[in-house]
Amino acid sequence: MSKLTMVVHGGAGPDSEFIKKNIETYKQGLREAVDTGYSVLEGGGSALDAVEAAVNYLEDNPLFNAGRGSALNEKAEVEMDASIMDGKTMKSGAVAIVKNVKNPVTLARAIMEKTKHIYIGDMGALEYAQKIGLRLMPEAYFITDHAYEQYIAATEEEENTIQQAGEYQVRRKTHGTVGAVAVDKDGNVAAATSTGGTENKVPGRIGDSSVIGIGSYANNKTCAISSTGDGEVLIRNVTCFHVSALMQYKGLNVKEACNYLIKEELKDAQGDMGIIAVDPAGNFAFEFNSERMHRGWRSSDGEQGVEIYRP
């Protein structure tokens, strides 16, 4: 039996007074997300079930920028992205700019398992969620006081036209994503990622989290990876697949691959990046170049913990 391993993240990026003020609550949320996914593994469940469960927990926790707690776009609307991938079958599912779906990652899994497609967005995704009976929530459910305060601060700082929004996002650098990777008793790996996107983004903007190979990637030959940070930077560098390729083609182990990508290959990239990864043997790694990355882990050899800043 393989070593059971569960790793989650709750976003990478700049530090803030809000994070400092709520640091213990964030850590508790990360612990509970890890335990939620790990309990699935411990009960004999699949890595795919475990990452979905862990991300569902984070989507339901209003502290994190996914599901409830999602960032607001420049029209004060919530548009969510998510993806999931099974390392055993190499099947994947994704959803983009979806509204009202309580758990977008569950919709992404349904797309993977119940349709001939991988990626569905906007109203098509919402209509499919309704068709299969997924839980929908009113817009107010997703908008937390903190997200609204960030939106107000953004609109007061300057008048953000569509033309100005891209420049504004890069300058303000507020982002967050949730994700999970796991390996089960059979040595199968899986990854899932979900986000509310960048604060004050242009309506219709699609970030990295829903893109297979960038937000999530899983392959039993190498590892499962979930990324977080500046979406445009992650997309440009095909981050998650990049880690897998370093393992498969260069022969690096999971820790070496994550370290090489962030510290060497992309050391001059302008933007925050964070990744978590686990291989089929249960070895895991995380790496980031930002001020903080919310992360938690637990494995059957007794190793566990949560961290936000560098140790």
Q: What is the DSSP string of 177-220?
A: -EEEEEE-TTS-EEEEEEE--STTPPTT---STTSBTTTEEE-T
Distance between CA atoms of 183 and 55, rounded to whole angstroms?
A: 15
Tell me which of 156 and 215 has the higher pLDDT: 215
Question: Which pLDDT does position 155 carry in this prediction?
Answer: 65
Say whether pLDDT at 143 is over 80: yes
For the cut 70, the answer to whether the pLDDT of residue 88 exceeds it is: yes
Reply yes or no on whether the pLDDT at 131 is more than 80: yes
pLDDT band at 156 (very low <50, low <70, confident <90, very high): low
| Burial class for 158, CB neighbours closer than 10 Å (0-12, 13-18, 19+) | exposed
Grade residue 172 by pLDDT with cuts at 50, 70 and 90.
very low
- Decide if pLDDT at 168 tops 50: no
Cβ distance 4 to 41 under 8 Å? yes
Q: Give me the pLDDT at residue 148, please.
A: 67
Q: How many CA atoms lie within 13 A of 26 on its CB side?
A: 26
Identify the active-site residue in 106, 174, 177, 222: 177
For the entire predicted model, the pTM comes to 0.93
| Band (158; pLDDT cuts 50, 70, 90) | low
Residue 201 is predicted with a pLDDT of 86
Give catalytic status of residue 5 as yes or no. no
Residue 96 contacts residue 105 (beta carbons within 8 Å) = no
Q: How confident is the model at residue 159 (pLDDT cuts 50, 70, 90)?
A: low
Facing residues of 224 across strands?
Answer: 218, 278
Q: Tell me the β-bridge partners of 92.
A: 85
User: Is the pLDDT assigned to residue 27 strictly greater than 80?
Assistant: yes
Segment among 120-134, 162-176, 187-201, 277-291 with least mean pLDDT: 162-176
Tell me the pairing of strands 224-229 and 284-288. unpaired
Query: Which residue, 133, 145, 63, is CA-closest to 102?
Result: 133
The stretch 11-19 carries a mean pLDDT of: 93
145 band by pLDDT with thresholds 50, 70 and 90 = confident
Residues in the chain: 311
User: How far, in Å, CA of 204 to CA of 228, rounded?
Assistant: 19
Residue 165's pLDDT is what? 45
SS3 state of residue 9 = strand
CB 192 within 8 A of CB 179: yes
Spatial contact of 96 and 122, defined as CB atoms under 8 Å apart: yes
In the chain, the amino acid numbered 109 is R
In the chain, % of residues over pLDDT 90: 84
Domains delineated in the chain: 5-305 (3.60.20.30)
What sign does the CA torsion over 253, 221, 59, 151 have? Answer: positive
Give mean pLDDT, residues 181-192: 98
Name the phi and psi angles at 248, rounded to 5: -75, -40
For residue 249, with 0-12 CB atoms within 10 Å meaning exposed, 13-18 middle and 19 or more buried, which class applies? exposed
Q: What is the mean pLDDT of residues 76-81?
A: 94
Q: What is the three-class DSSP state of 217?
A: strand
More confident residue, 169 or 38: 38
Encode pLDDT of 213-262 as tens digits.
999 999 999 999 999 999 999 999 999 999 999 999 999 999 999 999 99
3-state secondary structure of 258: helix
Whether 171 shows a pLDDT value over 50: the answer reads no
